[in-house]
Amino acid sequence: MQEARAKQAATEIEWANAQGHLKTHGLTQPEIDRLSRGTVHSIDGVFSLYTPIAGVVLSRSINAGEQVEPGKELLLISDLADVWVWANIKEEDLLQLQPGKTVAAEIRIPGLAGKNYSGAMDLVSGDINTQTRNARARIVVPNTDGMLKPGMFANIRLLLPGTHPSIIIPKVAVLSDQGRQFVFVHKEDDYWIRRPVITGPSFNHQVSIISGLTAGQKIIADGSFLLKSDVLREKMGAGCAD
C-alpha cells in the first residue's frame, strides 16, 4: 500500500512539473486539460506552436514537412511596438550631450515619403570608431502605426535642451584675415560689407554660425574669395596695415 502511494505521489509530482513546462511554452490550462483527457489520440497533422512574446515574424527557417530537432530555431519574432534607431554622432558633437540625460529626437524616414516620428535618445556608446571617429547612439521610437521596419534608413535631428536653431551657410562664404573669420554681407545696391563671425560645427560643405549673422541676411558665397582679394589689394595700395 505504501509503495502504491509513493508511486502515486511521484506521478503527481511529474505531472505538476510537466504542466509547468507546458505553461512556460505558452499552453493554457484548458489546453493542458484537453491533453490530459487523452485527445492527443486524434492527430490531424496540425500543431499549435506558442511564442512567449507577442510580436511580428521577421524570418522563418523551417518548411512544411521538415523534421524538427530540439534546439532548432524555427521563427525569428520581434516586438516592434518600440523600435531602436541607431545614429552616428560625430566625436566633436559629443560635448553637447550630457551623460545620463535623455534627449528628444525627430526622425524622418525617406522610405516612407519623409514621414516624421518622435523618439528619445537614451544611450550613447562608450567608445569611438577609430576609422569614422563617430560614436553610436540609440534612439527609442514608438512604432504607433507599425510602419517602421528593421533595416530602414532614417534622418535624425536631436533636440538639445537650451540650444537655438543655428544659421547654416556654405563653408566657402567664410574667409579669414590674420586669424579672424568674416563674411561679406549685403548692405545696399552693389555694396557689401565685411562682417566678423564666429563659426561652430561644420558638416560636409556647410558650417554653422554662432555669432555675427542674423537670419535672412544676404551673404556672398561663390566669388567671396575674389572680393576679399580686391579688398586686400585696395588696402595695400592705400598703405593700410590693418
**Tens-digit pLDDT profile for residues 204-217:** 577 888 888 888 88
Q: Name the residue with higher pLDDT: 43 or 4.
A: 4
pLDDT averaged over every residue in the chain: 78
- Domain ranges within the chain, ordered by starting residue: 2-52, 82-159, 167-237
CATH number of the structural domain 167-237? 2.40.420.20
CATH number of the structural domain 82-159? 2.40.30.170
For the stretch 113-129, pLDDT in tens is 988 899 998 888 888 88
Cα–Cα dist 168/200, whole Å: 9
Q: Is 158 a residue whose pLDDT tops 80?
A: yes
- At 140 the pLDDT is 93
Backbone dihedral angles phi then psi of residue 26, each to the nearest 5 degrees: 100, -5
